[in-house]
């Protein structure tokens, strides 16, 4: 059975080609994808392309774009077996994490990819990324999609999207997933790591999307020398609702009285503090050291081994649901889309 795939082009380097006459980079028209890559016809998939209007450099992406993308996937959900989202690499992990939260009860593949070198440049990495992402989005096992979650494919590796981070501005293997194994490794064959793939609930409820993402989120990264007045000013910003606190090591922070007082004042005003580590690998366990335990005692929540990208977008999603404080904190304490390991 042939799979039908919708490619959604949002912008970014992948969508550029060199103009044969002038040598300048010009947009690549993905609707001509079969003419450009005739070999695609050999894949067992039917492809349609939707180009966002306008296409953007991903540095300009906003939560409003994420809601539009989620709506687009929902509106086309019944017509396609899978989706490939082409996105600029700079903020791809943020967008893909946000989409993983916005799509509730997902049971079809949504594969993000992009490239470091434009698709129309001879040495591009975009061609392989695109073709393999399409193949993965259409892959089935016993008639069911092989990877029915939001994933990110880049240079021979398929990752759970909300575990990724852009790790290099130069290397072609630009993305990393420090705390979760690849969902697939691509060599001569595509080797899926099926036990690592998130499976939809047996009851297969309908896809739903969240329609609001909260604002009022900030990231505060600790460093030795961060002063009381600056920290207080950051945590007293008007409209602030939640902070991703990037701490040291296994979730540690200074134990000085002023530091804990400033955090406690924010928590007393109803600001949620979510602790993630600045380290690239590993996670927060606040009970190991006194320096982490103090945070736990004043009500800072653990982000476990979540990326900053997942923490920010999860806060936007959960606070956007408009639930009471107990329920909000309860959703933040457990993984909703495999975004952390307890
Ligand atoms: N600035 C580009 C973007 O993120 C870079 C890329 O696509 O690789 O849109």
Q: Tens of pLDDT along 147-200?
A: 999 999 999 999 999 999 999 999 999 999 999 999 999 999 999 999 999 998
**Mean pLDDT value across residues 34-40:** 84
Residue 34: pLDDT over 90: no
| CA separation for the pair 98, 315 (Å, rounded) | 10
- The minimum-distance atom of ligand 1 relative to the CA of 116 is 8
Catalytic residue chosen out of the listed positions 10, 13, 95, 307: 13
Ligand 1 centre to CA of 90 (Å) is: 5
Whether the CB-CB separation of 94 and 105 falls below 8 Å is answered with: no
pLDDT of residue 211: 95
- The minimum-distance atom of ligand 1 relative to the CA of 57 is 9
**Mean pLDDT value across residues 325-337:** 96
User: Is the beta carbon of 58 within 6 A of some atom in ligand 1?
Assistant: yes
Q: Taking each helix axis from N to C terminus, what angle separates 63-76 and 92-102, rounded to the nearest 10 degrees?
A: 50
13 is a catalytic site residue: yes
User: Is the beta carbon of 57 within 6 A of some atom in ligand 1?
Assistant: yes
Q: Tens of pLDDT along 97-128?
A: 999 999 999 999 999 999 999 998 889 999 99
pLDDT of residue 40: 85
Whether the CB-CB separation of 275 and 220 falls below 8 Å is answered with: no
Q: Which residue has the higher pLDDT, 29 or 318?
A: 318
User: Is the beta carbon of 182 within 6 A of some atom in ligand 1?
Assistant: no
Residue 244: pLDDT over 80: yes
The Cα-based distances of 219 to 150, 206, 302, 313, 323 in angstroms read 24, 34, 15, 11, 22
User: Is the beta carbon of 13 within 6 A of some atom in ligand 1?
Assistant: yes
CA 88, distance to chain mean position in Å, is 12
23 confidence band (pLDDT: 50, 70, 90): confident
Q: Which residue has the higher pLDDT, 47 or 205?
A: 47
- Provide the percentage of residues in the chain whose pLDDT is more than 90: 83
| CA separation for the pair 310, 285 (Å, rounded) | 18
> How far does the chain reach from its first CA to its final CA, in angstroms?
39
Mean pLDDT of the chain: 94
Residue 251: pLDDT over 80: yes
Q: Is the pTM of this model over 0.85?
A: yes
Mutate to test the pocket of ligand 1, among 88, 96, 167, 171 (most ligand atoms within 8 A of CB): 88
Instruction: Single out the residue of 129, 130, 139, 131 nearest to residue 191, CA to CA.
Output: 139
- The minimum-distance atom of ligand 1 relative to the CA of 11 is 9
pLDDT of residue 336: 97
Mutate to test the pocket of ligand 1, among 56, 59, 92 (most ligand atoms within 8 A of CB): 59
**Mean pLDDT value across residues 231-256:** 96
Ligand 1 centre to CA of 6 (Å) is: 21
Q: What is the 3-state secondary structure (H, E, C) of 147-170?
A: CCCEEEEECCEEEEHHHCEECCCC
């Amino acid at each position: 059975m042939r799979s039908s795939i919708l490619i959604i082009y949002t912008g970014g380097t992948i969508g550029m080609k060199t103009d044969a006459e002038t040598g300048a980079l010009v947009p690549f028209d993905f609707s001509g994808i079969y003419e450009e890559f005739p070999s695609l016809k050999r894949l067992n998939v039917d492809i349609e392309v939707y180009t966002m209007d306008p296409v953007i450099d991903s540095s300009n992406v906003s939560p409003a774009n994420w809601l539009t993308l989620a709506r687009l996937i929902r509106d086309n959900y019944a017509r396609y077996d899978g989706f490939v989202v082409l996105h600029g690499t700079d903020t791809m992990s943020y967008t893909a994490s946000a989409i993983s939260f916005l799509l509730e009860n997902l049971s079809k593949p949504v594969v993000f990819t992009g490239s470091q070198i434009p698709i129309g440049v001879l040495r591009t990495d975009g061609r392989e990324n695109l073709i393999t992402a399409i193949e993965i989005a259409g892959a089935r096992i016993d008639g069911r999609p092989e990877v029915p979650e939001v994933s990110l494919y880049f240079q021979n590796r398929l990752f759970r999207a909300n575990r990724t981070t852009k790790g290099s501005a130069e290397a072609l293997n630009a993305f990393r997933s420090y705390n979760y194994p690849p969902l697939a490794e691509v060599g001569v064959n595509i080797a899926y790591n099926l036990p690592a793939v998130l499976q939809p609930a047996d009851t297969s409820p309908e896809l739903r999307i969240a329609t609001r993402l909260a604002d009022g989120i900030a990231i505060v990264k600790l460093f030795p020398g961060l002063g009381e007045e600056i920290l207080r000013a950051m945590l007293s910003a008007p409209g602030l609702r939640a902070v991703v606190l990037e701490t040291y090591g296994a979730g540690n922070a200074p134990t000085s009285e002023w530091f804990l007082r400033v955090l406690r004042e924010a928590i007393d005003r109803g600001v949620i503090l979510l602790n993630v580590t600045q380290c690239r690998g590993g996670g927060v366990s606040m009970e190991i050291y006194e320096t982490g335990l103090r945070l736990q005692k004043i009500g800072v929540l653990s982000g476990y081994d979540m990326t900053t990208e997942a923490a920010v977008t999860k806060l936007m999603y959960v606070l956007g649901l408009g639930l009471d404080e107990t329920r909000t904190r309860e959703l933040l304490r457990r993984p909703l889309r495999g975004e952390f390991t307890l």
